[in-house]
Amino acid sequence: MPADLLRAVWGFDGFRPGQQEIVEAVAAGHDVLAIMPTGGGKSLCFQLPALMREGVTVVISPLIALMRDQVRALRAAGVEAGALTSGNTEAETDAVFQALGDGRLKILYMAPERLASGGTVNLLRRAGVTAIAVDEAHCVSQWGHDFRPDYLRIGELKRTLGVPLAAFTATADAETQAEIVTRLFDGRPPETFLRGFDRPNIRLAFQPKDGPRRQILDFARARRGQSGILYCASRARTETLAAALMAEGLEAVAYHGGMEADQRRHVEARFQQEDGLIVVATIAFGMGIDKPDIRWVAHADLPKSIEAYYQEIGRAGRDGDPAETLCLYGPDDIRLRRTQIDEGLAENARKEADHGRLNALLGLAEATGCRRRALLAYFGEEMVEDCGNCDICASPPKLFDATQAVQKALSAMLRTGEWFGAGHLIDVLTGNATEKVRARGHDQLPTFGVGQDLARGQWQAIFRQMMGRDLCRPDPDRHGALHLTQAAHPVLKGETQVVLRHDPAARTKSANVLRTQVAEEDEPLLSALKAKRRALAEAQRVPAYVVFPDRTLIEMAERRPQDLDEMAGIAGVGAKKLDSYGRAFLEVIAGDVPDMHPARMKLAGRPAGALFDRLTETQIRLMRGENGTEKPLSCSTSQLRRIAEARPGDRDALARHLDAPRLDRFGDAFLDEIAAAG
């Protein structure tokens, strides 16, 4: 039966490796999790079973373009299919509802956002849904690279409809697989198929940025006439690079989430129909194009993780013919990705995991041996031999034994309490006695100056590659300070050798140097302060600058106030904003903050505040008199505030604020404190 349908509908004489048993399990009504490489024929594994059973199969997918392509292909093959997405025209949506009402539809594609609508479940009940398929199932995982909150509703949909569910993804590490099972299958393990991640027809290559526009243009020119995708980190960059490619006589067009739906559909149609078109797309938006003959995929900027990288390059060579990739990376990319993690509103455990994932991608970029072995090892697969189809296999990098240098770096981290970033640690290692180094006594450490044999740029490359080996990670709880991982301890003890590559990036400069707002050392704290500002602004529904402008946060990051008095001295922190936001931002910088009485708060940052504190201490000392035997007596905080502000110079002036008993008890001592305060 499956083989007959395969031939009759799709025109194939046989299944690809691994497809048939997945099709049979889904058709039998089993809950299924299938992890298959892009181009491995995932869609057939839920489309064919849909034709083998009664009722409608609903397919949840986040990629509107891909849904449209698959619906178009199914209809061309004679299968009744439709999609409900935000990209539909009114006529398209009406046609889908009509087909559902007539009982003609077999496969209904739906964006996950549709599940938020109250009427969706009733619609699916009336339509006679008998199975659910989830494409891009990794989107359900908050640990994955493309989390979609609406995917969390799918498990409830399965329980409500009481139907089997089949989940498909091309990329999922162990953590993500476990969360898919928890979220979609209520923790009950489905029948799982792991079909491997290797795409041997795709050539892997990374290059440090050295004039990235020229590098991209050279790569594209050498592949003139071939269909390709160029991924960028921003919408603006897609426009400028598409224009640059066009200026070189190459057919190119931008594609990003800021375009109108009609514009995106026009680009999709061109890409499907034209040979040799280059689509320049944002990484965040993604290209869900079902096009088998994409010959190359390039990244003008570093992706967010290995999972994202693998999925994006997987769109090349889906026909099995040779395809090529190129990923450019540089220090600006790494800084951007770190900042995006640090400024996010995720829990610190999630940020820690995201830094680990970014480390893994840096490890792939800085690999010392076969890239494919490193890529597959990340997904738990082992290659016996090098692939022979990556840039490192073709041209191995120069390596050196970096064990001693790495041990020095790890020791510097430990001796400074794992409270500092790479910039400060390099100052310690190279013997650069900055004000910050001296203030903390780090110029007295045994590690001070032990790395003078290496230049600062070499140390930066070593720290970057150490993170790529996951020997250290930025700690979100400590504003990006580097801390050792478990993998670092055998290195520190001399049990494990570390071989690194001579850094090619150290000999080059980025064409677009990022003008940072603060020193590298203060960037993680500035990111944390911006995240706090964003959360407060969103809660109050005001622009971020209404809370504090950037220049105020920059001064906070550089001066690092430790109490509300110091916070009040930051430019832009007036009395009202100190009262409204002072504690919240101070907690980001200094941790828990003691409570401050409102009367004292009014004096924060002023000399009167320090005098108020001394008067309070004096009052406590004399509350029962000089020898501690008299009747308790005290002043109100309002009295103390007025005295601190007025600074009376004699008993007569002080008598305006205190009655006779209090003047007798505290007068002389208060006047002494006022005189001492100048």
Per-residue pLDDT tens digits for 606-615: 788 888 888 9
Residues 6+ apart with CB under 8 A from 451: 405, 408, 409, 412, 426, 429, 430, 431, 459
Taking the C-alpha atoms of residue 568 and residue 607, their distance in angstroms, rounded to an integer, is 12
Per-residue pLDDT at 605 exceeds 80 = no
| Sign, CA torsion 251/255/260/266 | positive
For 613-630, what is the mean pLDDT? Answer: 86
Residues of the chain above pLDDT 90, percent: 36
Are the beta carbons of 148 and 139 closer than 8 angstroms?
A: yes
Structure tokens at 433: 């006695």
Q: Quick check: do 2-194 and 202-329 share a fold?
A: yes
Q: What is the pLDDT confidence band of residue 88, given thresholds at 50, 70 and 90?
A: confident
Residue extents of the structural domains in the chain:
2-194, 202-329, 521-595, 607-677
Q: What is the pLDDT confidence band of residue 196, given thresholds at 50, 70 and 90?
A: confident
Per-residue pLDDT at 287 exceeds 90 = no
Taking the C-alpha atoms of residue 134 and residue 117, their distance in angstroms, rounded to an integer, is 18
- Residue 103's region, left for phi above 0, alpha for psi from -120 to 50, else beta, is left
One-letter amino acid for residue 157 of the chain: L
Per-residue pLDDT at 510 exceeds 70 = no
Q: What does the pLDDT read at residue 362?
A: 92
Taking the C-alpha atoms of residue 254 and residue 281, their distance in angstroms, rounded to an integer, is 6
Q: Average model confidence (pLDDT) for the chain?
A: 86
Q: What does the pLDDT read at residue 511?
A: 33
What pTM value is reported for the model? 0.61
Per-residue pLDDT at 541 exceeds 70 = yes
Per-residue pLDDT at 242 exceeds 90 = yes
pLDDT in tens, 120-146: 888 998 899 999 999 988 888 765 556
Q: What does the pLDDT read at residue 279?
A: 94
One-letter amino acid for residue 512 of the chain: N
Per-residue pLDDT at 298 exceeds 60 = yes
Residues 6+ apart with CB under 8 A from 613: 600
Q: What is the pLDDT confidence band of residue 17, given thresholds at 50, 70 and 90?
A: confident
Q: What is the pLDDT confidence band of residue 258, given thresholds at 50, 70 and 90?
A: confident
Output the DSSP codes for 537-600.
Answer: HHHHTS-HHHH--HHHHHHHHHH---SHHHHHTSTT--HHHIIIIIHHHHHHHHSS-----HHH
Least confident interval from 11-25, 362-376, 497-511:
497-511
Which CATH architecture best describes the domain 2-194? 3-Layer(aba) Sandwich (3.40)
Which CATH architecture best describes the domain 521-595? Orthogonal Bundle (1.10)
Output the DSSP codes for 96-131.
Answer: HHHHHHHT--SEEEE-GGGGGSTTHHHHHHHHTEEE
Q: What is the pLDDT confidence band of residue 15, given thresholds at 50, 70 and 90?
A: confident
For 143-150, what is the mean pLDDT? Answer: 69
Per-residue pLDDT at 198 exceeds 70 = yes
pLDDT in tens, 638-675: 888 889 889 998 888 888 899 888 988 898 899 988 88
Fold type of domain 202-329: Rossmann fold (3.40.50)
Q: What does the pLDDT read at residue 285?
A: 53
pLDDT in tens, 322-355: 999 999 998 888 888 888 888 877 788 888 888 8
Of 172, 215, 243, 479, which is closest to residue 329 (Cα–Cα)? 215
Q: What does the pLDDT read at residue 5?
A: 86
The Cβ of residue 637 has, within 10 Å, a number of other Cβ atoms equal to 14
Q: What does the pLDDT read at residue 515?
A: 37
Q: What does the pLDDT read at residue 577?
A: 87
Taking the C-alpha atoms of residue 75 and residue 53, their distance in angstroms, rounded to an integer, is 18
Kindly list the distances between the CA atom of residue 558 and the CA atoms of 63, 238, 514, 524, in Å, as whole numbers in the listed order: 43, 34, 19, 11
For 198-213, what is the mean pLDDT? Answer: 92
Q: What does the pLDDT read at residue 427?
A: 94
For 242-259, what is the mean pLDDT? Answer: 92
Q: What does the pLDDT read at residue 412?
A: 95
- Of 128-142, 160-174, 439-453, highest mean pLDDT: 439-453
Per-residue pLDDT at 558 exceeds 70 = yes
For 408-428, what is the mean pLDDT? Answer: 93
Q: What does the pLDDT read at residue 508?
A: 37
φ/ψ (deg, to 5) at 148: -120, 115
- Of 61-75, 305-319, 412-426, highest mean pLDDT: 412-426
- Three-state DSSP class for 33? strand
- Of 117-131, 390-404, 535-549, highest mean pLDDT: 390-404
- Residue 104's region, left for phi above 0, alpha for psi from -120 to 50, else beta, is alpha
For 441-464, what is the mean pLDDT? Answer: 92
Per-residue pLDDT at 284 exceeds 80 = no
Q: What does the pLDDT read at residue 142?
A: 67
Q: What does the pLDDT read at residue 49?
A: 95
Q: What is the pLDDT confidence band of residue 512, given thresholds at 50, 70 and 90?
A: very low
Per-residue pLDDT at 411 exceeds 60 = yes
Give pairs for 392-398: CB < 8 Å, separation 24+: 392/367, 392/368, 396/369, 397/368, 397/501, 397/502, 397/504, 398/501, 398/502
